[in-house]
Amino acid sequence: MTKDSFSLSCPLPNEKGSVIRLGHGSGGRMSHELFESIFLPAFNNEILAKRQDAAIIELESKNIAITTDSYVVNPIFFPGGDIGSLCVHGTINDLCMQGAEPLYITTSFIIEEGFAIDDLKKIVSSICQAASQTNVKVIAGDTKVVNRGAADKIFINTTGIGKILLANPPGATKVNVGDSIIVSGDIGRHGMAVMCARNSFELETQLESDSAPLNEMVLQLVKEGIELHCLRDITRGGLATCLNEIAEVSGMEIEIDHSSIPLIEPVQSACEILGLDPLFVACEGRFIAIVPEKFSDSTLDIMRQYEIGNNASKIGTVKKSAPGRVILKTSMGARRILDMLSGEQLPRIC
């Protein structure tokens, strides 16, 4: 073994610095100081303040929804958001798609040694603001620090808990022939905003991510008595993949009209330049609602009350002639099969 074949690294810095050290993940004094100085002041609530190994919560409902997700977006700061707000929005939105009211969230951080503490503070602040905005409490968490090069800056894992509000929660198996397919807003913003930021790609109009919580809009649909057959948030794989998942599980044909799909010009332009199909580009603040046709107008009216839903649109209908297929009606009047995304056209967008 040569003298250059390995190097020693002390987890304890000689002095307090501005970056994450291995010692911050040790479980000792430095971990304690990180928790006391950054996480506890931001997330402080009566449950977290007990500082137990597991949070104890009381739920009125016996039916709860639980979801878990991991976030590895690159770059971690992008126009319209960052990995902090994104991890809260994504977790909350998954709960909402089951007609659940989000209540609690846990966060687990995997941080690369050398990561700037100021950036960690910004991310934690974003988590705090997003959780506060949606009345969700951060009740547990964990921090691990890995060697330089063992991760890419920071990864976050979350778990969300919510209470089911509906006796008959929405799901793809409840989709019926004649149902209307509604999308809550224009598609593709998040994926293209991240892609442009990652590659320093400038447009005349800067794209901002559509990352946003959907809980208020969904809960309003529930309160107004909209019969929700299926809800699905449009994330990885985009609109086309979500529709294919619904068609496969329901055994129904989903027919959509390309001219009815809301798409803003900067997203369209960016997709054309990069050779991407916007139907496969991820969103982080949009969802599909499948409702009986008689509820389509009232669903659109409710969605359009919100800024994130001001261009909600009915894009198609559920049929049965091609079970398990998504059929796209083109602007030329032709009909073609719209398949699920194959491979990964935009890696690490969430």
Place 206 in a pLDDT band, splitting at 50, 70 and 90. confident
Tokens 């719209």 correspond to 338
Options 3.40.50.1100, 3.30.950.10, 3.40.50.720, 3.90.650.10; CATH for 172-337 is 3.90.650.10
Place 16 in a pLDDT band, splitting at 50, 70 and 90. low
- Given phi > 0 = left and psi -120 to 50 = alpha, else beta, which region is 85? alpha
The structure tokens listed for 2 are 């040569």
Options 3.10.330.20, 3.40.50.300, 3.30.1540.20, 3.30.1330.10; CATH for 22-164 is 3.30.1330.10
**Interval 72-93 mean pLDDT:** 98
Q: Round to whole Å and give the CA distance between 40 and 34.
A: 9
| β-strand pairing of 180-183 with 287-291 | antiparallel
Q: Report the mean per-residue pLDDT for the chain.
A: 92
Question: Kind and range of the H or E element at 102?
Answer: strand 100-112
* pLDDT for residue 78: 97
Asked if pLDDT for residue 15 goes beyond 90, the answer is: no
Place 97 in a pLDDT band, splitting at 50, 70 and 90. very high
- Of the two residues 48 and 95, the one the predictor is more confident about is 95
- Of the two residues 52 and 111, the one the predictor is more confident about is 111
Which region among 11-15, 95-99, 127-131 has the lowest average model confidence (pLDDT)? Answer: 11-15
Place 60 in a pLDDT band, splitting at 50, 70 and 90. confident
**Interval 165-187 mean pLDDT:** 97
* pLDDT for residue 204: 72
Residues 230 and 172 sit within 8 Å (Cβ to Cβ)? yes
Helix axes of 189-198 and 265-274: crossing angle, nearest 10 degrees:
50
Place 279 in a pLDDT band, splitting at 50, 70 and 90. very high
- What's the predicted TM-score (pTM) here? 0.92
pLDDT 10s digits, 114-170: 999 999 999 999 999 999 999 999 999 999 999 999 999 999 999 999 999 999 999
* pLDDT for residue 62: 83
Which region among 1-5, 108-112, 185-189, 317-321 has the lowest average model confidence (pLDDT)? Answer: 1-5
Asked if pLDDT for residue 11 goes beyond 80, the answer is: no
Q: Round to whole Å and give the CA distance between 81 and 78.
A: 6
Residues 208 and 300 sit within 8 Å (Cβ to Cβ)? no
**Interval 12-34 mean pLDDT:** 81
* pLDDT for residue 203: 76
* pLDDT for residue 243: 98
**Interval 337-343 mean pLDDT:** 85
Q: What are the domain boundaries of the chain?
A: 22-164, 172-337
Asked if 22-164 and 172-337 have one fold, the answer is: no
Residues 66 and 161 sit within 8 Å (Cβ to Cβ)? yes
Q: Round to whole Å and give the CA distance between 110 and 144.
A: 5
Q: Round to whole Å and give the CA distance between 211 and 213.
A: 7
